[in-house]
């Protein structure tokens, strides 16, 4: 095999849709992986790259490593941003682990600097051995298909062009091109799971069970990622097609959720959380499974997940907290749309037509109503006329439909001058029913 990795590296950049017009920020720690990444990108397009190094201050040599990276950047004539951050102080306040907290800060600083300085991509130095270790760690933790997919080659602006290179190849490249590097002593401390996997478990598996273990784990990640990507795209399509934002919450109909397979239910719930939170930090399999079980067993509930509350009624799944938006009663004009709180209600008039039924719509005989129409919140003693005779308290109707208590006073009621006509998503009145003598149809619809 050709020891110069440049040709394979170019193929990887092409697969990642990187072009020579892209400005690329390279995250460089000073270790052999990131130094090889920097050198290869310098060979690819020296004028379009910049360097970012974070001095986290964890080790005594941190300042020396920052100086080493800065001097090498000067040698290659690459602009370098050497940044320091009090990660120790952040960890003491946040309570996060050392590795997780440092990673979170590093990625955020990289993203901030790239956005502020016009970089299109952020290149990271993860390689094949990192991928194998990650997959093995997630197997130990009982991860599902999503976890076995390992480290993605691309996520947002972050790219990892070295994921199919082995550590041994990168070290050989350093030797061949006389690229200096520093070693992180913490990588040899057996207190971290990754280090124990790297130094103890993976060598044991290679020695005693399969000499191709690293390549097999990388292949497993590739296969799992392809399957997971297809399944996740389907779940996201289902979620985005049916979810709605209402009063600060994401809502999703249970009638869509219930028929899905167990696998797809889990993925749709993850997609709903991703949509609401923007991430899935601290959300594990047990959280999703508890939520799914409650949806399977209970008609109405409220459940606290990390950094988020979820709830349900018989009709809907809710993600997040209801945010009350006070609004005043308003006239709903014909052939117009009225926004009240987080609802939008439209009134359309059709002359002598029999309309096709649509979701979230109700039709009335306009000439039997006392205009103008008004949209208002509920009032004490409100009742709605029922088909078949009699009336029902609006309060009882909301209880029957498990409308959360905090939402009931903000729910819109569409009325004429005498009666309640429609409570969107709950019930319509018997007043104004369409007959063979109807000449003008009023269609009320909820957006």
pLDDT, residue 144, reads: 82
pTM of the model: 0.66
- What CATH number has the domain bearing residue 76? 3.40.50.620
Domain-embedded: residue 236: no
- Please state, in angstroms and rounded to a whole number, the distance separating the CA atoms of residues 327 and 301: 27
Three-state DSSP class for residue 253: strand
CB 89 within 8 Å of CB 57: no
- Please state, in angstroms and rounded to a whole number, the distance separating the CA atoms of residues 262 and 54: 43
Domain-embedded: residue 238: no
183 and 101 in one domain?
yes
Domain-embedded: residue 147: yes
131 and 99 in one domain?
yes
Strand partners, 81: 52
305 φ, ψ to 5°?
A: -110, 165
| Tens-place pLDDT, residues 285-306 | 899 999 999 999 988 888 999 9
- Kind of pairing between the strands at 49-55 and 80-84: parallel
Tokens 């956005």 label which residue? 115
342 and 299 in one domain?
no
pLDDT, residue 31, reads: 94
211 and 260 in one domain?
no
Express as a percent the part of the chain with pLDDT over 90.
69
89: pLDDT strictly greater than 80: no
285 Cβ partners below 8 Å, 6+ apart?
142, 143, 144
| Domain-terminating residue out of 190, 222, 254 | 222
Three-state DSSP class for residue 419: coil
265 and 368 in one domain?
no
Express as a percent the part of the chain with pLDDT over 70.
94
Domain-embedded: residue 127: yes
129 φ, ψ to 5°?
A: -65, -35
C-beta atoms surrounding 371 within 10 Å:
14
198 and 289 in one domain?
no
Total domains in the chain come to: 3
Q: How does DSSP classify residue 164? A: T
pLDDT, residue 313, reads: 85
C-beta atoms surrounding 208 within 10 Å:
9
210 and 118 in one domain?
yes
Q: Could you give the C-alpha distances from 318 to 238, 250, 307, in angstroms and in order?
A: 16, 6, 15
287 and 210 in one domain?
no
- What CATH number has the domain bearing residue 293? 3.30.465.60
- Kind of pairing between the strands at 24-27 and 121-123: parallel
Domain-embedded: residue 234: no
CB 125 within 8 Å of CB 96: no
> How much is the mean pLDDT over the chain?
90
- Please state, in angstroms and rounded to a whole number, the distance separating the CA atoms of residues 279 and 294: 22
49 φ, ψ to 5°?
A: -120, 155
pLDDT, residue 141, reads: 85
pLDDT, residue 147, reads: 85
Domain-embedded: residue 92: yes
**179: domain range?**
6-222
Q: Could you give the C-alpha distances from 69 to 64, 321, 352, 390, in angstroms and in order?
A: 9, 47, 78, 81
- What CATH number has the domain bearing residue 350? 3.50.40.10
- Please state, in angstroms and rounded to a whole number, the distance separating the CA atoms of residues 416 and 375: 9
> Token pair for residue 80?
């370098």
308 and 362 in one domain?
no
| Domain-terminating residue out of 295, 319, 343 | 319
pLDDT, residue 240, reads: 93
344 and 275 in one domain?
no
| Domain-terminating residue out of 319, 347, 375 | 319
Q: How does DSSP classify residue 184? A: -
268 and 200 in one domain?
no
Strand order in the sheet with 154-155: 80-84, 49-55, 24-27, 121-123, 158-159, 154-155
| Tens-place pLDDT, residues 172-201 | 999 999 999 998 766 656 657 888 998 899
pLDDT, residue 61, reads: 79
225: pLDDT strictly greater than 60: yes
290 and 385 in one domain?
no
N- to C-terminal Cα distance for the chain?
A: 61
CB 18 within 8 Å of CB 121: yes
Domain-embedded: residue 227: no
Domain-embedded: residue 142: yes
pLDDT, residue 195, reads: 87
């Amino acid at each position: 095999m050709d020891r110069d990795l440049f040709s394979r590296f170019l193929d990887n950049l092409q697969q990642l849709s990187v072009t020579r017009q892209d400005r690329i920020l390279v995250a460089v720690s000073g270790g052999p992986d990131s130094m090889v990444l920097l050198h290869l990108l310098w060979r690819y397009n020296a004028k379009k790259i910049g360097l970012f190094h974070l001095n986290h201050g964890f080790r005594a040599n941190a300042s020396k490593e920052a100086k080493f990276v800065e001097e090498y950047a000067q040698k290659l004539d690459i602009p370098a941003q050497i940044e320091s951050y009090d990660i120790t102080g952040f960890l003491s306040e946040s309570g996060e682990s050392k590795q997780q907290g440092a990673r979170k800060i590093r990625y955020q600083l990289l993203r901030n600097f790239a956005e502020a300085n016009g970089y299109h991509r952020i290149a990271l130095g993860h390689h094949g051995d990192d991928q194998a270790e990650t997959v093995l760690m997630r197997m130990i933790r009982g991860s599902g298909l999503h976890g076995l997919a390992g480290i993605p080659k691309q996520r947002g602006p972050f790219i990892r062009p070295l994921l199919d290179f082995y550590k041994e190849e990168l070290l050989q490249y350093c030797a061949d091109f006389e690229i200096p590097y520093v070693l992180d002593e913490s990588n040899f401390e057996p207190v971290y799971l990754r280090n124990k996997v790297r130094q103890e478990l993976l060598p044991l598996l290679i020695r005693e069970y399969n000499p191709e273990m690293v390549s097999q784990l990388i292949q497993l990640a590739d296969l799992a990622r392809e399957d997971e990507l297809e399944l996740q795209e389907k779940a996201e399509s289902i979620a985005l097609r049916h979810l709605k934002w209402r009063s600060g919450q994401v809502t999703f109909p249970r009638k869509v959720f219930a028929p899905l397979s167990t696998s797809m239910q889990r993925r749709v719930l993850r997609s709903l959380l991703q949509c609401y939170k923007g991430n899935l930090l601290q959300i594990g399999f047990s959280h999703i499974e508890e939520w799914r079980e409650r949806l399977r067993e209970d008609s109405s509930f409220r459940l606290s997940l990390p950094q988020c509350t979820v709830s349900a009624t018989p009709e809907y799944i809710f993600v997040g907290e209801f945010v009350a938006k006070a609004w005043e009663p308003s006239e709903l004009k014909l052939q117009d749309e009225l926004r009240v709180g987080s609802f939008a209600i439209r009134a359309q008039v059709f002359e002598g037509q029999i309309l096709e039924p649509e979701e979230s719509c109700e039709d009335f005989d306009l000439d039997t109503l006392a205009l103008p129409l008004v949209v208002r919140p509920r009032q004490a003693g409100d009742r709605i006329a029922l088909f078949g005779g009699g009336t029902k308290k609006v309060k009882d109707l909301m209880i029957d439909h498990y409308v959360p208590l905090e939402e009931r006073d903000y729910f819109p009621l569409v009325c004429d001058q005498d009666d309640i006509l429609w409570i969107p998503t709950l019930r319509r009145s018997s007043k104004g029913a369409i007959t063979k003598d109807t000449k003008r149809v009023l269609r009320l619809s909820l957006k």
